[in-house]
Amino acid sequence: MGQARVNGVASGAAGLSVVLWLTFVNSMGTGVVTNGIFFLAKSAYGLGVKGNFALGIVLGLTYIAGAKAVGPLLGWLRRSPTHSTRGAFRWISVGCGALCVIPLAAQTLHIGGNWPVWVLVALYAPLTGCMWPITEAYLSGGRRGEKLRRALGAFNVTWSIALVAALWVIGPLVGGHPLAVIAGLGLLHVATLLLVQRLPAEPAAHADVGHEPHPAVYTRLLSAHRLLLPLGYLIVSTMSPYLPTAFGAMGIAIVWHTPLTATWHASRVLGFVWLQHDHRWHGTWIGPALATVALVVGFALVMLSPKLGLTGAVPGGAIPIVVLATGLVLLGFGVAAIYTGALYYAMEVGGSDVDTGGTHEALIGAGYAIGPGIGLSAALATEQAWIDEGAFGWIVVVVMVLLAGATWIWTGRRRTAAPVTAGSPGEST
């Protein structure tokens, strides 16, 4: 028997306002650690380009581990009547909060070394890799069709706005109080326990809401977006560890580093809002194609902007910053389109269970891991004088262009593959 529905939403579905508030607060915390940690690590521990790229690799690999483990782990826990998905969410929130205190505690106890930031990332990232698939399961459980589209749109706008707000808030604190910023994030995680308590013990089942079969092309588009999603985050995660160094080379004051980084997060918000209200991209290939172009061009502008001259030069001092900001805006729109398509098609085709969200987040984690690996390889090559130091930006740009081209060659093969039956399971790539 299916669940009773009210206005097209199953009665067992989590309240959308609860999920969105939970998303906002957790995104303030996880977003700063995954996006702002490189600025905090540079300020607190002096990590340079190589150190930040290595930190990014650890972040990505451990995030994948959490995202892929959460489904089987919850299945094992639910064998006992005393355990639930909501209970696991509570422990994840407590764990994240406790880990955020480690760097400040080590400083207070005069324990030297930069080990706290490595411990934080290595343990915090897999917990967030578990957190977001669970959040997405509560979001989409009991919703489909128009209700799912609206919920996903609100979800994307909520977490992306939280990131912009967080990066602006920590900007003045990065230089003088980086470890206090991280500890403050821990308090946010603990505060979410009040919201977690308002969730149902388990996410509602996806199939409990009546819905017409999705178009056959959705399965191919899901497959294509599962290739493009790690590409997008690979590009982002190659850029992010490099930004503190790039901003320093351009003479930008440290107080503006994270607010300027928020430019691409802000354009992603606008992209999410647009895609939430304009549904012409559903079932089409033009959206992911344009998104890929925006990603690659935006990345190239960001990585090459420091080579246009120092910002203190007159009259062309503003040119590098304008080029950089333009690149960040394009990149943000590209990520918004690919992320929205990947999550939408995953929920429409694959369902609302935690494993579906886990696959989505693991693909993001793959990008988080591979991108810094490319950057670290290029940085080591320049350090060893195997390539000219001035060629660093060009090398990583060329690599991304080649990867984007290879992705679309493979996507083209999937697009012309034999037709699939509407309603069939999503393809894994």
155: phi then psi, degrees, rounded to nearest 5: -60, -50
Max Cα–Cα distance, the chain, nearest Å: 72
Query: What are the beta bridge partners of residue 5?
Result: 10
What does the alpha-carbon distance between residue 178 and residue 244 come to, in Å, rounded to a whole number? 14
Res 390: pLDDT: 66
Sign of CA dihedral 85, 86, 89, 94: negative
What does the alpha-carbon distance between residue 365 and residue 103 come to, in Å, rounded to a whole number? 24
What mean pLDDT value characterizes the chain? 81
Total residue count of the chain as it appears in this document: 429
Res 379: pLDDT: 79
Q: Are 89 and 131 in contact (CB under 8 A)?
A: yes
Res 355: pLDDT: 58
Res 172: pLDDT: 84
For the chain, give percent helix, strand, coil, nearest 5. Answer: 75, 0, 20
What does the alpha-carbon distance between residue 14 and residue 197 come to, in Å, rounded to a whole number? 11
Res 83: pLDDT: 80
Res 16: pLDDT: 93
For residue 429, the Cα-to-chain-centroid distance in whole angstroms is 19
pLDDT (tens digit, 9 = 90+) per residue, 15-45?
999 999 999 999 988 877 777 888 888 888 8
What does the alpha-carbon distance between residue 293 and residue 92 come to, in Å, rounded to a whole number? 37
Res 2: pLDDT: 45
Q: Which of 329, 330, 332, 359 is nearest to 343 (CA)?
A: 359
Six token digits for residue 174: 């990065």
What does the alpha-carbon distance between residue 44 and residue 307 come to, in Å, rounded to a whole number? 27
Res 356: pLDDT: 59
For residue 79, the Cα-to-chain-centroid distance in whole angstroms is 31
pLDDT (tens digit, 9 = 90+) per residue, 105-158?
999 999 988 999 999 999 999 999 899 889 988 988 888 777 877 888 888 899
Res 140: pLDDT: 82
Query: What are the beta bridge partners of residue 6?
Result: 9
Q: Are 257 and 197 in contact (CB under 8 A)?
A: no
The set of residues, in sequence order, having a beta carbon less than 8 Å from that of 322 and lying 6+ positions away, is none
Q: Where are the alpha helices (DSSP H) in 32-144?
A: 37-45, 49-77, 85-108, 115-140
Q: Are 74 and 354 in contact (CB under 8 A)?
A: yes
pLDDT (tens digit, 9 = 90+) per residue, 199-211?
998 888 755 444 5
Res 413: pLDDT: 63
Q: CA 69, 242, 36, 361: dihedral to nearest 10 degrees?
A: -20
Sign of CA dihedral 166, 302, 236, 352: positive
List of the chain residues with pLDDT < 70? 1-11, 206-213, 309-317, 350-360, 385, 387-390, 412-429
